[in-house]
Structure 1
Amino acid sequence: MRRGKKQLNNKNVRHLITKLNPRSPISEQFKTIRTNLQFSSVDTELKSMLVTSSGPSEGKSSTTANLAIVFAQQGKKVLLVDADMRKPTLHYTFRADNRRGLSSVLVAETSLKDAVTSSDVGGLDLLTCGPIPPNPSELLGSKAMETMIANAQLEYDIVLFDTPPVLAVTDAQILANMCDGAIMVVRSKQTEYDAAQKAKELLEVGNAKLLGVVLNDREQKKGHYYYYGT
C-alpha cells in the first residue's frame, strides 16, 4: 500500500511540472502553447476550451492540468473542470475532494459555487467530476451544462475542460459544440495517423473550433527542447 501511494505521488509530480518547476524547458513549452492559443483568438476571446485526444494514454489530462496552471500563473482566473465523467483523474492529480463536483451541479444537487474548490495554485479553481453518473453523454449535452458553462464564464477568465478521448465516446464532440475551442493531444510514436485524422473529423462534425494539436513525448534531440513531454 505504501509503495502504491509513492508511485501515485511520483506520477503527480510528473503531471504538474509547470507548478513544481516553472522554469523547466517543458514548462516553457506550455507557456508557448498558452501564447499560441492567445494569438489564435485575436478577433474573438477564448473563454472556454476543451482538451481531448483520439484514444487513451496520450497525455490529455496532464496537458489540461498544466495548461490551466500556466494560464493561472499569467494572472488569469481559471476554472479547471474534469468533464471525463467515465475515468476522472483531476481529484487524484490535485488531491481534491470528489464527493461533489460537475455531476452534482448538472443534476441540481448543488450550485456551481458550492461545488468548486480552490487549488494551491493562485488563481486556479477546480471542479472535479463528482459521483460518476450512469449517463455522462446526456448530462454533458443537457441545458444544465450550457447553463453551467455560461455561469462559469461570468466568474472566470478561462474555463478549461478535460474530456474523454474522441474515438471512445461522444462526450468530447458534444461539449465541443458548447466551447469556444478545442485542443487535441497526440502522443509521439503511439497515436496512429488515421486515428488522429478520424478524431479531427469527428470534432469538426461536432462544430468544434480546433485550435491546434499538442505533440506529447516527442524525442529530445541534442541542442533542442521538447515540444512537450512528461
Structure 2
Amino acid sequence: MSRSTPEWKLITESNPKSPISEGYRMLRTNIEFSTIDQKLQVIMLTSSKPNEGKSTTSANMAVAFAQANKRVLLIDADLRKPTQHHIFGKSNRNGLTTALFKQKDIHEVIQQSDTENLSLIHAGPTPPNPSELLSSKQMAALIATTREMFDVIIIDTPPILSVTDAQIVATQSDGVVLVVDSGKVKKDVALKAKASLSHVNAKLIGVVLNNINRKHSDAYSYYYEDINEA
C-alpha cells in the first residue's frame, strides 16, 4: 500500500489489530498516565523538522483516543501546510481560520469524521498571518470553548524549529508530544526542539520516535519515551 494514501495514514482505523495500531494505543495509555496531578485535555503535537510524521501521528492518536470512547477533537493548526483534510478526505474550505476570522461559528467548522467519537477542525484557507492568528484572543476563546465540548483535544502544529506557531500553541496546551524521525533527525536537533519548548515553559510529556529500525518483525514502528527521563 502506498504511504501517500489515507488508508495507510489512518492505520488505526483501517487495520486496528496491526502492531503499529497497538503502538498508538500504547502511546494513548502512556499519555493518560503520564501525570497524576494535572488532567491532560489539550495535547499538542509537533516535530523539529518537516516530514517527520507529526500529522500522521496526530491523526492516529486521535483515532486511538476515540476508540477508547473519548469525545475527541482533532484541530489542524498547521496553517501553513495543512494535512489533516487530506488524511481524512474532507473539505478544507472552512476551518480554524474561518472561525478565528469570525466568518463562521465554531459549531459550523467542526466536521464529523468517519470514526465514531472523533470530530475535526481542519485548518481552513491559508491566512497571511498564521502566528498572529494563533496568538489571538479568538484562538484562546476557541480552545476554552472546545474544552467544554470534548474530553480530549489534539492539536497538530508546524515543526517547532521552522516557525513560532508551535511555541504559541504550546502555551495554550496542557502537554506537548514531540515527534522525531529517528532515521533523519540528529540528537542535537531534537534537543534544540526541546529547548524551544522549554523556552515558553511548555510541558513536554514525551517523544514519539518514528521509523525506528528494529530487528524483530513484531517490533512497533513507533516508540514513546518520557523525555524527562532521557
Pick the TM interval, shorter chain: over 0.9
TM-score norm. by structure 2 comes to 0.94
SS where residue 41 of structure 1 aligns?
A: coil
Q: Which moved more, 1:12-21 or 1:216-225?
A: 216-225
Query: Which shifted more, 174-183 or 38-47?
Result: 38-47
1:29: how far off? 0.7
| Count of residues in Structure 1 that have an aligned counterpart in Structure 2 | 223
Cα displacement (A) at 1:188: 1.5
Q: Which runs of 5+ in 2 are unaligned?
A: 224-230
Aligned twin of 1:130: 124
**Deviation of 1:11 (Å):** 2.5
1:99 is aligned with what amino acid? R
8 Å Cα contact 2:2/2:8 also seen in 1: no
In the alignment, structure 1 segments of 5+ residues that lack a partner are 1-5
Q: Which runs of 4+ in 1 moved over 6 A?
A: none
Distance in 1 separating the partners of 2:217 and 2:135: 46
Cα contact 1:219–1:226 (8 A) shared by 2: no
| Residue in structure 1 matching 2:22, options 12, 22, 28 | 28
Secondary structure class of the residue paired with 2:78: coil
In 1, the alpha carbon distance for the partners of 2:82 and 2:118 equals 18
What is the CA–CA distance in structure 2 between the aligned matches of 1:223 and 1:204, rounded to whole Å? 36
- Matching of residues 176-215 of structure 1 within 5 Å: 176-215=170-209
| Structure 1 equivalent of residue 113 of structure 2 | 119
What is the RMSD computed on CA atoms of the aligned residues?
Answer: 1.4
The reply to whether residue 171 of structure 1 matches residue 165 of structure 2 is: yes
TM-score normalised to structure 1 length: 0.94
- The Cα offsets for residues 188-216 of structure 1, whole Å up to 9 and x where unpaired, read as 22011111111100011122100100000
* Aligned counterpart for 1:38 among listed residues 17, 32, 36: 32
Cα deviation per residue 1:66-123 (whole Å; 9 max; x = unaligned)? Answer: 0000000000000000000000011111111111100011111111111000000000
Identity %: 47
Counterpart of 1:218 (choices 201, 208, 212) is 212
Deviation at 1:41, TM superposition (A): 2.5
